[in-house]
Amino acid sequence: MKILSRICSLLVLTGLFLSCGEEVNPNFQEEVAQPEFYHRSVKKLTDVIVHDIFSPPQAGRIYAYSSIAGYEAFAAGDPGLNTLAGQIPHLQPLPQPADVSGDVEIAYPIAAVAAQLKVGKSLIFSEEKIEAFEDEIFKEFAAIKVPAATLQASIDYGHAVADHVIKWYDGDTYKQSRTFPKYSISADPSKWQPTPPDYMDGIEPSWSKIRPFALDRSDQFKPLPPTKYSEEKGSDWWTEVEEVYNALKTEDDSEREERTAIAQFWDCNPYVSHHVGHVMFATKKITPGGHWINIAAIAARKAGADFKTTTHAYAMTSMAMHDGFISCWDEKYRSSLVRPETFINRHLDEDWRPLLQTPPFPEHTSGHSVVSRACAVVLTDIFGDDFAFTDDSEVEYDLPERSYNSFLEASEEAALSRLYGGIHYRPAIDYGVTQGEAVGKHLLSRVQPRANLTKKK
C-alpha cells in the first residue's frame, strides 16, 4: 500500500492525468473560473425568490447576504480583492482556506458558488429547488474533472464561509422584526390606507430597524418631506395629484404608448392579484432589486467581466439595494403618505384605477427611485459612465427589451415609471432619486472591494 501511495503521488507531481484511477483535467482551474457558473447560481436564486413571493425589501436582503458570501469565498483566493470584513464594521473576519482544507488545493470559483447557494438557500422557503440546482452544478464541476479532493475542499470552504455569513445575518434584527407591531391605520386623510384590490396591511413597517451595511443609521439620508397635503383645488398638492391622474391622458398616441410601456417594464411587483368575478389569481414577477441584479448580470456579460468583477458587481449592487430599501422604508413609515389611488378615488374620480397595482405600503419616497439610483451609482463605478446596454430582464414576463445609454439613464426611467403607473407623486420620485444617489455614493465611500483601487473618502 505504501508503494501504491508513492506511485500515485509521483503521477500527480509529474503532471500525468491519471492519479490512482482518477482522471484529472490540468486546466480545471481555468474552466471552473467561467463567470457563467456564478451568473446561473444568482439567476436560480432569483427564480426561487419570485416563486416564493418575497417582498422587495426581503428580496434585497436575500441578494445581499448571498452575494457577500459568494464574493468573500472567491476573494479569499484572489489578492486583487479586499475582504469586506472591517469595511462593513459588523462583519468579522471570515474563515481562512487553510482552516478548512489544510493543504488541499481549492478552486475558489467553486467555493463562491457553494457559499452563494448555501446562504441563499437559508433565506428562502423552497430549499429543494436550490438543492436540486446544487446537485446539478456540482456534477458539472465534477464533469470538468476537478480532482475529487479539490472539489470537496472547495465546497467545504464555501460552506464554511456561508456558515459565517448565516451567523452574521442572524443578528441584523430581521427575526425580531417578525414580531414587531403592524402598521396602525390612521383616520388622518393624509395618511396611507390599504388599497384595492386586496387591501393588504402595510409591508415591513419596521424595516428601518434592520441593520444596514454602510449606513450609519436608517435616517442618514433623510429626504425632503412630501408636499403639504391639501384638498383645495389649485394647491401644490392638488397639482401633483392631477399630474398623476392625467399622466396617461395625453392626446399623442405614441407618447401614451411609450409611457405605458415604461410603466409596465419597470412594474416589478412580486405579487399582482387579479380578480375576475369570484375567482382570484396572481401574477408573480421579479422585484425591483431582482431587476437590478439582472442588469448587473447583463453588464458583466457585455463587458466580458471575469469572475472577480462579476462577484464584485453582484455584491456591490445588492448591498446598495439593501441599504437603499432601509433608507427608503425609514421615510415611508415616517411620512406615511396616502397613495394617489386613495386620494383620487375620494376627491377626483371614484372609478379611477392606476395602470399598475398600487403596492401595499406608504407613498413617500418611491422605492424604485431610491433603489434604482443606488444600484445605478455603484454599477457606474464598476463599468463606467457611458455603459450602453439592452435590458431584457422582463422578456420572460412577455415584455419587450429596452435599451439605455447608461445605468443612470435607466434609473431615471425606472423612477419616472412610477408616475406613469399612477402610484407615485412627483416629489417621491425626484426626492427618491436624490436619496438613492446619496446611499450609493456613501456605500462607495465606505466599501472598496478592489485592492488595486484607492478607497474613496
Residue 389's CATH number? 1.10.606.20
Overall number of domains in the chain: 2
Q: Among 172, 198, 230, identify where a domain stops.
A: 172
Residues 358-393: pLDDT tens digits? 999 999 999 999 999 999 999 999 999 999 999 999
Per-residue pLDDT 10s for the chain (457 aa) are: 443 343 344 333 333 333 456 789 999 999 999 999 999 999 999 999 999 999 999 999 999 999 999 999 999 999 999 999 999 999 999 999 998 988 899 999 999 999 999 999 999 999 999 999 999 999 999 999 999 999 999 999 999 999 999 999 999 999 999 999 999 999 999 999 999 999 999 999 999 999 999 999 999 999 999 999 999 999 999 999 999 999 999 889 999 999 999 999 999 998 887 776 766 667 889 999 999 999 999 999 999 999 999 999 999 999 999 999 999 999 999 999 999 999 999 999 999 999 999 999 999 999 999 999 999 999 999 999 999 999 999 999 999 999 999 999 999 999 999 999 999 999 999 999 999 999 999 999 999 988 764 333 3
Please check whether residues 202 and 132 belong to one and the same domain: no
Q: Does residue 391 fall inside a structural domain?
A: yes
Please check whether residues 88 and 153 belong to one and the same domain: yes
Which class for 143: exposed (0-12), middle (13-18), buried (19 or more C-beta within 10 A)? exposed
Please check whether residues 349 and 226 belong to one and the same domain: yes
pLDDT for residue 275: 73
Structural domain containing residue 125: 26-172
Residues 123-155: pLDDT tens digits? 999 999 999 999 999 999 999 999 999 999 999
pLDDT for residue 428: 98
Q: Does residue 19 fall inside a structural domain?
A: no
Please check whether residues 324 and 216 belong to one and the same domain: yes
Q: Does residue 1 fall inside a structural domain?
A: no
Please check whether residues 201 and 140 belong to one and the same domain: no
Please check whether residues 272 and 124 belong to one and the same domain: no
pLDDT for residue 273: 78
pLDDT for residue 101: 83
Please check whether residues 110 and 220 belong to one and the same domain: no
Q: Does residue 70 fall inside a structural domain?
A: yes
Please check whether residues 219 and 346 belong to one and the same domain: yes
pLDDT for residue 455: 37
Please check whether residues 167 and 243 belong to one and the same domain: no
Please check whether residues 412 and 337 belong to one and the same domain: yes
Q: Does residue 248 fall inside a structural domain?
A: yes
Q: Among 149, 172, 195, identify where a domain stops.
A: 172
Please check whether residues 139 and 199 belong to one and the same domain: no
pLDDT for residue 452: 60
Residues 286-328: pLDDT tens digits? 999 999 999 999 999 999 999 999 999 999 999 999 999 999 9
Please check whether residues 335 and 424 belong to one and the same domain: yes
Q: Does residue 47 fall inside a structural domain?
A: yes
Q: How far apart are CA 246 and CA 132, in angstroms?
A: 49
Q: Does residue 331 fall inside a structural domain?
A: yes
